[in-house]
Amino acid sequence: MAAQKPAQQNDHPDKYTEFVSRGLGRDLAKRLGLPQPAVLRRYTPGAPLVQGPILVVGHTEGSDAVASVLLSWGQDVRRHATPKEKLGAVVLVLDELAHPDQLSAPLREVGAALRDLNRNGRIISISGQVRSDDAPEVAAARNAVDGIMRSLAKELRAGSTANGVVLANGVLANAPSALSALRFFLSARSAFVDGQFLTAAAEGTAVQQDWDKPLQGRVAVVTGAARGIGAAIARTLARDGARVVVVDVPAAGDHLAAVANEIHGTALQLDITVTEAGARILDHAAQRHGRLDIVVHNAGITRDKLLANMDPGRWDSVIAVNIAAQLRMNQAFLASSHFTDNPRIISVSSTSGIAGNRGQTNYAASKAGVIGMVRATAPLLSGKGGTVNAVAPGFIETDMTAKIPFATREVARRLNSLQQGGKPGDVAEAIAFFASEASDGVTGNVLRVCGQNLVGQ
Partner 1 sequence: MSSPTAENTARPAANRGIRKAVIVGGNRIPFARSGGAYAHASNQDMLTAALDGLVARFGLQDEAIGEVAAGAVLKHSRDFNLTREAVLGSALSATTPAYDLQQACATGMEAVIGLSNKIKLGQINSAIAGGVDSASDAPIAVSEGLRTILLDLNRAKSLTDKVKILGRIRPKDLSPDAPSTGEPRTGLSMGEHQALTTAQWKISREAQDELALASHKNMAAAYDRHFFDDLVTPYRGLTRDSNLRADSTLEKLAKLKPVFGKNLGDAATMTAGNSTPLTDGASAVLLASEDWAQAHDLPMLANVVDGEAGAVDFVHGKDGLLMAPAFAVPRLLARNGLTLADLDYLEIHEAFAGTVLSTLAAWEDEEFGKTRLGLDGAFGTVDRSRLNVNGSSLAAGHPFAATGGRLVATLAKMLSERGQVDGRPARGLISVCAAGGQGVVALLEAR
Q: Which residues are catalytic?
A: 363
| Smaller CB separation from partner 1, 3 or 308 | 3
CB of 261 to partner 1, least distance (A): 4
Site for partner 1 (CB under 8 A): which residue of 23, 83, 147, 290? 290
Site size toward partner 1 (CB under 8 A) is: 27
Stretch of 53-61, 117-125, 161-169, 286-294 lying at the interface with partner 1 (CB under 8 A): 286-294
Distance CA 131, CA 113 (A): 31
Q: How far is CA 247 from CA 135, 253, 413, 442, in A?
A: 49, 9, 29, 26
CB of 275 to partner 1, least distance (A): 11
Distance CA 447, CA 155 (A): 21
| Smaller CB separation from partner 1, 35 or 253 | 253
Site for partner 1 (CB under 8 A): which residue of 42, 119, 213, 288? 288
The answer to whether 77 and 71 are in contact (CB under 8 A) is: yes
| Smaller CB separation from partner 1, 169 or 216 | 216
| Smaller CB separation from partner 1, 51 or 261 | 261
* Contact map string, positions 352 to 391, toward partner 1, x by CB under 8 A: ----------------------------------------
Distance CA 285, CA 288 (A): 5
Distance CA 86, CA 113 (A): 9
CB of 271 to partner 1, least distance (A): 7
Q: At what angle do helices 277-289 and 325-335 cross, to 10 degrees?
A: 40
Give the burial string for 196-214 (b: 16+ CB within 10 Å, else e).
Answer: bbbbbbbbbeeeebeeeeb
| 216 near partner 1 (CB under 8 A) | no
Distance CA 285, CA 219 (A): 8
CB of 375 to partner 1, least distance (A): 33
Stretch of 1-9, 182-190, 210-218, 449-457 lying at the interface with partner 1 (CB under 8 A): 1-9
**Integer Rg of the chain from CA:** 22
Q: At what angle do helices 325-335 and 361-382 cross, to 10 degrees?
A: 10
Positions 222 through 281 that interact with partner 1 (CB under 8 A): 250-254, 256-258, 260-261, 264-271, 274
DSSP 189: G
Stretch of 13-21, 179-187, 284-292, 394-402 lying at the interface with partner 1 (CB under 8 A): 284-292
CB of 312 to partner 1, least distance (A): 21
| Smaller CB separation from partner 1, 274 or 335 | 274
Distance CA 351, CA 98 (A): 33
What stretch of H or E contains 245? strand 243-248
Residues that bind partner 1 (CB under 8 A): 1-4, 250-254, 256-258, 260-261, 264-271, 274, 287-290
